[in-house]
A and B are shown apart, each in its own frame.
Chain A
Amino acid sequence: MLADWQFIGIFLALSPIFPAAPVIANWLLGPRKPNPLKQQTYECGVETVGDTWIQFKVQYYIYALVFVVFDVEAVFLFPIAAAYDQLGLFAAFEVVVFVLILAVGLGYAWSRGALEWT
């Protein structure tokens, strides 16, 4: 039992060395001549101009909401799909009703203009 875990122990002990070694080697061996250009943030996106707390377009949010609805729908459909062979036609019919109710919601959101990107 314990023998199975010893590999994990060895792995845990050794694994920090690999990321740490290059950083330490760099610090020991590399020359240090800083200038403002070198001190800039490297490959982390463009520096922001102005306040970062800007208003996102509300469409992002509505898209996310519609996504959440259908994301959760999948959670409900999965068990039915897994047990599909044991369920009869009636269950399939119920699933159709379930999806239809959600589709009505989507249709409503669409007609309210939630899917327009303007």
Chain B
Amino acid sequence: MIPLSWYLIVSAALFCIGLFGVFARRNAVAILMAIELMLNAVNINLLAFWRYRTPTEPIGLAWSIFVLALAAAEAAVGLALVISIYRERDTVIAEELDTLKY
């Protein structure tokens, strides 16, 4: 069987790609996608831990379904906010949202 650490490495890599995406991308939609990547990394973690640590109890399995639901809800709310921003100022670039500042 493939060792647990392989899954964890994949998930950590995916998480870091997401993390990098959040900081590096300027488009709000791209930032959303990066956050979704991080949530997917969490899901890989949960499923791998479920399979290797608690195979008899579906804890991680159930949890990952909730994470899926969260990801869908977050995507819906995030896109709604992006659309309302776009309607108003024709931009979705994060740095141009500067009405509120110090």
Contacts and interface: CB of A to CB of B under 8 A. Distances in A.
Interface of A: 53, 55, 58, 61, 65, 68, 71-72, 75-76, 79
Interface of B: 61-62, 65, 68-69, 72-73, 75-76, 79-80, 83, 87, 90
Given A72-B69, A75-B68, A75-B69, A55 B87 contact: yes
Given A61-B79, A76-B65, A76-B69, 12 more contacts: A53-B90, A61-B80, A61-B83, A65-B76, A65-B80, A68-B75, A71-B72, A72-B68, A72-B72, A75-B69, A79-B61, A79-B65
A68 B65 contact: no
Q: Which applies to chain B's interface (DSSP): helix, strand, loop or mixed?
A: helix
A65 B81 CA distance: 13
Contacts of B73: 72
Contacts of B90: 53
A101 to B, nearest CB: 13
Contacts of A76: 65, 69
A53 B91 CA distance: 11
